[in-house]
Amino acid sequence: MATMTIAVANQKGGVGKTTTAINLAAALAHKKKKTLLIDLDPQGNATLSFIDPSTVDISVYELLVQPGTGLQDVVRTTADRNLDVLPAKISLAKAEVKMAGEFDSHFRLKDKLDPYRPLYEYVVVDTPPTLGILTVNALVAASHLLVPIQSSYFALEGTDDLLETYQKIKSRPNPGLEFLGVVITLHDKRTILARDIQRQIREVFGEKVFRTMISKSVRLEESPAYKQSIFKFAPTSSGAIEYYSLSEEVIGRV
């Protein structure tokens, strides 16, 4: 099977994007799928969930801007078997300026990743809450786009811009990019509003919305502080069960 590379993207912040990237990658690894998690967000929260950033000398920033740096120089193993991470540090914030205007700026991640794809069954890319060069790098390198949408009043705000960017990437630099689907996150099934928003999202995106919804969960919020995925921190929690279910749906869609 060809490597499935999933860009988890939404330029709207606070939608559970990083939580989804972290725990989808961990769920796939838990299912004995060799998985790479790429932290492409300068906030580095996906990295913080597995690695002490003070131990990171070479990060995704160097991978993108230094010609001699390869994936093997940056990749780190984690306590989760079958899960590796490409860590990010705050220096990644400089990448947008550093790469701006360079002819190959949108292809940096793809070019560095391509030789190593055969080592992994799945690659999951966490992206920043913007539609800048880093997110475009993720979409150019990806085979699939996964969009987390929060179950809240402003849920669909900004998704038009993201889908327009997706269409532009698909029409030119990455014609193989597929829209994997939408996952509803931070869902509070107790409220009428959340149920209404869920129905609205399903009306807009139809079958592209995953059946699995990710509930609001204290355990999901706590686990990164302990440098653990939800599967190590609270394996019987609703968050673990839901992300495991999401991973099965992801596998089923391809």
**Average pLDDT for the chain:** 94
In contact, 93 and 45? CB cutoff 8 Å: no
Percent of the chain with pLDDT over 70: 100
- Check whether 156 has a pLDDT greater than 90: no
Pairing mode, strands 178-185 and 144-150: parallel
User: How far apart, in Å, are the Cα atoms of 194 and each of 72, 128, 154, 166, 253?
Assistant: 44, 25, 11, 27, 26
Q: Residue 200's domain spans which residues? A: 4-253
- Which of 201, 40, 37, 231 shows the shortest CA–CA distance to 135? 40
Confidence of residue 121 (pLDDT cuts 50, 70, 90): very high
- Mean pLDDT value of segment 174-192: 91
Confidence of residue 244 (pLDDT cuts 50, 70, 90): very high
Q: What is the pLDDT of residues 90-110, one digit of tens each?
A: 999 999 999 998 999 999 999
- Check whether 1 has a pLDDT greater than 80: no
C-alpha 190: how far from chain center = 27
CATH of the domain at 39: 3.40.50.300
169/24 Cα distance (integer angstroms): 24
- Mean pLDDT value of segment 54-60: 95
Confidence of residue 168 (pLDDT cuts 50, 70, 90): very high
Q: How many domains does the chain have?
A: 1
Please give the model's pTM, rounded to 2 decimal places: 0.96
